[in-house]
Amino acid sequence: MTSFPFEIAAVDGSARTGVLKTARGEIRTPAFMPVGTAATVKALYTDQVRAAGADIILGNTYHLMLRPGAERVKTLGGLHRFMGWDGPILTDSGGFQVWSLSSLREMSEEGVAFKSHLDGSRHMLTPERSIEIQADLLGADISMQLDECTNFPCTRDEAASSMQLSVRWGARSKAAFGERSGQNLFAIVQGSVYEDLRRESAQALIAEGYDGYAIGGLAVGEGFETMCQVLDVTTPHLPSERPRYLMGVGKPIDLVESVARGVDMFDCVMPTRSGRHGQAWSDYGPFNLKNARFAEDTAPLNPDLDCPASRDYSRAYIHHLVRAGEYLAAMLLSWHNVAYYEDLMARMRIAITEGRFDAFRKDFNDRWASGAAPDGN
Amino acid sequence: MTSFPFEIAAVDGSARTGVLKTARGEIRTPAFMPVGTAATVKALYTDQVRAAGADIILGNTYHLMLRPGAERVKTLGGLHRFMGWDGPILTDSGGFQVWSLSSLREMSEEGVAFKSHLDGSRHMLTPERSIEIQADLLGADISMQLDECTNFPCTRDEAASSMQLSVRWGARSKAAFGERSGQNLFAIVQGSVYEDLRRESAQALIAEGYDGYAIGGLAVGEGFETMCQVLDVTTPHLPSERPRYLMGVGKPIDLVESVARGVDMFDCVMPTRSGRHGQAWSDYGPFNLKNARFAEDTAPLNPDLDCPASRDYSRAYIHHLVRAGEYLAAMLLSWHNVAYYEDLMARMRIAITEGRFDAFRKDFNDRWASGAAPDGN
């Protein structure tokens, strides 16, 4: 396997910044990937996603295989062309959504059989089929191995056997992936909250050799402290020369603390989902524009951001749009939130480059703890 | 009253093209005004509305007086600043929405008392209050007199007494409006389907003298033929040197046939409402992107339109977005539809200027009757 170049430009403590070079362009790390579940980053145009600073987006195997169908996406020229995004795309394997959305799951060594949450139709996802969908049909730049999402909480024995299944599925995913030019495959470290299982998972996957290593099984209700503890005992076992991707995380404070622990890539629905529920993110936490205190607040969401949604509309106007249930409320808040997340990543990259990430992290934690939003903006 | 300049550049049969000059910019006529009910043209950014070719948009007195409140809009700098639209805005008087949306209406010579459809709160709309809201608080460039929306169908006696009330309310609206620099007031011709009442209404309003004359009481279920008949007996009684505005109309064929009868301005929720329901408009009628025949149609909605939504996305992709219930479906289809409507107006303006409106009208009617959409695009 010829891994894509990952050039680490600066290291500051455990935090690193660099560039992942893909056939469809460079990804500046630490990177946040907006989620385009159904071939659209919800309520955003792709040029807004790009201008907000995103180098790569995420697509969902589970959703796309059910609708419009992976073969249909292939017929229509692949996911990039279908949705009009010419930058890199990472696709998840479908495992997490089968676990969280579908009904009547039947797990076996072979894979997972499930019923669609859309129409009840029956489907089978195996490591081989997941790779076919991601790499062959959707045309992902980065594919993820199929893994089993371990329940949380779970016993050590449950975590061990689930993790070992994921390791075996990883090997099958890798065999199915084979040798590809310009496409990449990431493994997923599991093991729940058990330090030795996380280490065992990492070592087994590294022995196989992947282009990057994801940390799965977090952001499932374990809480901030536990997430940090798991990262503390996991990232040290991952090769420093390969990208590390923390799946499904998270709030801005989670991103800062994960970068401090050596994570390079993130994805999360939070900026767009929050945006559809009236929330705007800031260094001081989220604030809900539906709140009456914004009814005559003429300040923008955040004048420091180079994003029209953050800069050019008053909170009073957005408050009105939220109250009225207008599309534009979700459009503006999702856009602002993606721009805020991407700006936060950019600020971290600069802080690491300049060797002052510790100070940045401390300042950020102070702002976050103060909860002073939105006046603190 | 100092009317704003209306420079008619060309006349072709009863159709005319020209420019209305307002303090906030020129309005090319015949003009279509996208509807910004709650201070947003639904699912569009104002720069998209402008780039689609709209010179003026419409705002709704009824909605804005209830939420966020007209006084609050004034506090926040007026409607233009509130919603970020620096071009001209025409506001309706609120009469039509009271008639169609509110409950417990009580009509009197003084005005109309009603309960809000949002929270049941009680309000009173008089000609004077409507003008205060439109001209003073929202800051409309063109205000409409308060009128009574006559039921359809109705007897001649009902139509006559309703029309006469609207004439009296017009005079009170005009008195309340007074002399203003850079703002304008339109009267509304009523009279239902009765030729003599339409003429009587027009003559009474012209005797008062307004900046423009609207034709109300249509697009209420009377049907295409009746609408055309009413226009045939109404527009000849309106002064040729003042703009004529057909309220709430309509489908593309309605616009073409109304322009042929001397109408200069239109507003309608159709392009944006259709867009939220999966429909795209064309010279051949509407087509619904939800239909399975678009599932693998790689053509754009209409490559001839200079609008990204019409040109840069496949029907297959929009079909998928509609099926998935994605925001982007409504965003793209509303944008396309507004661009299509504005392009239709532009084509009519050019045809009138070049003295070939009859041929344009005939061709358009042929296309419309063929119903060949979407392949005919």
Among B192, B174, B199, B172, CA closest to B184: B174
Q: What is the Rg, in whole angstroms, of the alpha carbon atoms belonging to chain B?
A: 20
Phi and psi at residue A267, to the nearest 5°: -140, 150
- The confidence score (pLDDT) of residue A376 equals 45
Model confidence band, residue B377 (pLDDT cutoffs 50, 70, 90): very low
Select from A72, A76, A118 the residue whose CB has the most chain B CBs within 10 Å, as the one to mutate to test that interface: A76
Enter the ipTM.
Answer: 0.97
The mean pLDDT of B53-71, rounded to a whole number, is: 98
Would the pLDDT of B202 be above 70? Answer: yes
A 34-53 near B (Cβ less than 8 A): 38-40, 42-45
Tell me whether residues A317 and B75 touch, CB distance under 8 A. no
Select from B118, B328, B335, B338 the residue whose CB has the most chain A CBs within 10 Å, as the one to mutate to test that interface: B328
Tell me whether residues A330 and B327 touch, CB distance under 8 A. yes
- The confidence score (pLDDT) of residue B3 equals 73
Gap from B146 CA to chain A (nearest CA, Å): 25
What is the C-alpha separation between A146 and A125, in angstroms, rounded?
9
Residue B322 forms contact with A (CB below 8 Å): no
Model confidence band, residue B203 (pLDDT cutoffs 50, 70, 90): very high
Residue B4 forms beta bridges with which residues?
none
* Active-site annotation of A, residues: 92, 267
Would the pLDDT of B206 be above 50? Answer: yes
- What letter does residue B137 receive in the DSSP assignment? I
In this structure, the strands spanning A212-215 and A244-246 are: parallel
What is the C-alpha separation between B69 and B67, in angstroms, rounded?
5
Asked if B267 is an active-site residue, the reply is: yes
Residue found under tokens 């010579």: B109
Global pTM? 0.98
Residue B10 forms contact with A (CB below 8 Å): no
B 79-108 near A (Cβ less than 8 A): 82-84
Tell me which residue in A63, A84, A313 faces B84 most closely, judged by beta carbons.
A313
- The confidence score (pLDDT) of residue A101 equals 86
- The confidence score (pLDDT) of residue B363 equals 98
Tell me which residue in A76, A296, A317 faces B314 most closely, judged by beta carbons.
A76
Gap from A21 CA to chain B (nearest CA, Å): 27
What is the C-alpha separation between A50 and B142, in angstroms, rounded?
39
The alpha carbon dihedral of A32, A38, A42, A48 has a sign of positive
- The confidence score (pLDDT) of residue A375 equals 60
Residues 6 or more apart in contact with residue B216 via CB below 8 angstroms: B96, B147, B149, B166, B188, B189, B190, B247
The active-site residue, picked from B55, B92, B136, B343, is B92
Tell me whether residues A326 and B45 touch, CB distance under 8 A. no
Residue type, A97: Q
What is the C-alpha separation between A255 and B261, in angstroms, rounded?
63
- The confidence score (pLDDT) of residue B375 equals 61
Q: Considering only residues B39 and B150, tell me which one the structure prediction assigns the higher pLDDT.
A: B39
Would the pLDDT of B100 be above 90? Answer: no
Residue A227 forms contact with B (CB below 8 Å): no
The mean pLDDT of B344-357, rounded to a whole number, is: 98
Gap from B224 CA to chain A (nearest CA, Å): 31
Tell me whether residues A326 and B38 touch, CB distance under 8 A. yes
The mean pLDDT of B39-52, rounded to a whole number, is: 98
- The confidence score (pLDDT) of residue B88 equals 98
Number of separate helices (H) and strands (E) present in chain A: 15, 16
Alpha helices (H) along chain B: 46-51, 61-66, 70-75, 79-83, 95-101, 127-131, 156-177, 195-208, 224-234, 252-259, 270-276, 308-311, 315-323, 327-353, 357-370
Spell out which residues of chain A touch residue B51, defining contact as CB-CB under 8 Å.
Answer: none
What is the C-alpha separation between B233 and B11, in angstroms, rounded?
19
What is the C-alpha separation between B1 and B24, in angstroms, rounded?
18
Number of separate helices (H) and strands (E) present in chain B: 15, 16
In this structure, the strands spanning B184-189 and B142-144 are: parallel
Contacts by A69-74 with C-beta closer than 8 Å and gap 24+?
A70/A132, A70/A133, A70/A137, A70/A138, A71/A137, A72/B295, A72/B296, A72/B316, A73/A39, A73/A137, A73/A138, A74/A136, A74/A137, A74/A138, A74/A139
Digitized pLDDT (tens) for each residue of chain A, 377 residues in all: 457 899 999 999 999 999 999 999 999 999 999 999 999 999 999 999 999 999 999 999 999 999 999 999 999 999 999 999 999 999 999 999 998 888 878 999 999 999 998 999 999 999 999 999 999 999 999 999 999 989 999 999 999 999 999 999 999 999 999 999 999 999 999 999 999 999 999 999 999 999 999 999 999 999 999 999 999 999 999 999 999 999 999 999 999 999 999 999 999 999 999 999 999 999 999 999 999 999 999 999 999 999 999 999 999 999 999 999 999 999 999 999 999 999 999 999 999 999 999 999 999 999 999 988 766 44
What is the C-alpha separation between A141 and A134, in angstroms, rounded?
9
What is the C-alpha separation between A197 and A203, in angstroms, rounded?
10
3-state secondary structure of A331: helix
Residue B198 forms contact with A (CB below 8 Å): no
